Amino acid sequence: MKDNRPIVIWLLLGCTLIFIMVIVGGITRLTHSGLSISNYKLISGTIPPMNEQEWIEAFDLYKQYPEYQKLNTHFDLEDFKDIYFWEWLHRVIGRFIGLVFIVPFLYFLIRRKLDAPTIKKCLILLILGGFQGFLGWYMVKSGLVDRPDVSHYRLAAHLSTAFLTFAYCLWVALDLIYPKKKEIQKQIRNIVRVGIVLLMIQIVWGAFVAGLDAGFIHNHWPMMNEGKLIHETVYIEQQPVLKNFIEGRSGVQFVHRYLAYVVVGIIIFIWLKTKNMHLTWLQNRGIMALVVLVGIQFLLGVLTLIWAVPVWLGVVHQVGAFLLLAAMTFTLHRFSK
């Protein structure tokens, strides 16, 4: 660990920056700021408009696309500046993360600080990071053609890739922090693997809910068919029934709601299975973290729903998912060879 300390710090810094980027991305989505910058400039796009004329030009460009023409015709320049800020910040953090990964990696590579397995893992991280940037561009592009919103499929791909990149980056750091791992139960390891897969599926459906604005309907709990709906009533469309669960607002919320019970259930199952086992201190802490975090996350999900997704609570709910994935990753690592 001592020899690898700079590398571990680098990787954990990367995890922290991805965490921050996901938070800013959540704010960007919840404030409907994601389509405010309609042209992609890798280098010059880092600098925002610096004077009134440049702001007017940026606003005029925004007016050429569906979001302004169909939703935001009431916007003035100051309204545009508000949404521009969050999308600009999101993109700048993405560029900064790229530099934070690439420059130290080249330094450690040249100084021969990385062994062969770590080099391979870092290359995978770089590929994931580059793919994440591509997905961000691909997602925004879907909202600039004929609809004033991005594809919820592309949003889900963009968000889930960020979560997976974070989890893998944390895993690589844990490999260096704990080079000697101990496996006491293959069965527990496999159950945790199932749990992490279910959690990722839940995250994907959470992105579907966000992408379709499905959190603004059925704002009551535990049932979906009680109380007054927010904004509008949504009906099951006349299409293949299963399609409603990936494209219908009521359907995706249904899946996201009830998959939450499954995630809670499997974590409680893990806790019960290991309750009487002789665990290491870290294994025990990992499982306790899972139990506490999944309880908090479930409560946040219920509150986010019944309060019709206020921005701050939507972001906190997303942070909860991030922390739960981190705990899942740590726990799986502690039960792996």
Average pLDDT over residues 176-184: 75
Mean pLDDT over the full length of the chain: 89
Residues 50-56: contacts with CB within 8 Å, 24+ apart? 55/80, 55/81
- Rounded Cα distance, 244 and 246, in Å: 5
- Rounded Cα distance, 260 and 203, in Å: 10
Confidence label for 183 from pLDDT (cuts 50, 70 and 90): low
Residues 6+ apart with CB under 8 A from 184: 277, 278, 279, 280, 283, 335
The encoded tokens of residue 141 equal 């592009």
Q: Which pLDDT value is given to residue 232?
A: 42
Q: Which pLDDT value is given to residue 233?
A: 44
pLDDT, tens digit (0-9, with 9 covering 90-100), for 6-61: 999 999 999 999 999 999 999 998 888 888 887 777 666 678 888 899 899 889 89
pLDDT, tens digit (0-9, with 9 covering 90-100), for 88-112: 999 999 999 999 999 999 999 999 9
Q: Which pLDDT value is given to residue 230?
A: 42
Q: Which pLDDT value is given to residue 145?
A: 80
pTM: 0.90
Share above pLDDT 90 across residues of the chain, in percent, rounded to a whole number = 61
Alpha-carbon dihedral angle through residues 294, 295, 299, 301, given to the nearest 10 degrees: 10
The encoded tokens of residue 312 equal 């701050």
Q: Which pLDDT value is given to residue 228?
A: 45
What is the 3-class SS of 262-307, one letter each residue?
A: HHHHHHHHHHHHHCCCCCCHHHHHHHHHHHHHHHHHHHHHHHHHHC
Residues 132-138: contacts with CB within 8 Å, 24+ apart? 132/94, 132/158, 132/161, 132/162, 132/165, 133/94, 133/98, 135/161, 136/91, 136/94, 137/40
Average pLDDT over residues 322-331: 96
> Which DSSP category does 315 fall into?
H
pLDDT, tens digit (0-9, with 9 covering 90-100), for 198-251: 999 999 999 999 999 999 988 988 888 764 444 444 444 556 678 889 988 889
Position with higher pLDDT, 323 vs 41: 323
Q: Which pLDDT value is given to residue 234?
A: 44
Q: Which pLDDT value is given to residue 48?
A: 86
Q: Are 125 and 168 in contact (CB under 8 A)?
A: yes
Residue 151 DSSP SS3: coil
CA atoms within 13 A on the CB side of 282: 17
Q: Which pLDDT value is given to residue 6?
A: 93
CB burial class (10 A; 0-12, 13-18, 19+) of residue 208? buried
- Rounded Cα distance, 250 and 235, in Å: 7
Average pLDDT over residues 294-313: 95
Confidence label for 144 from pLDDT (cuts 50, 70 and 90): confident
Average pLDDT over residues 193-201: 96
Q: Does the pLDDT of residue 66 top 90, yes or no? A: no
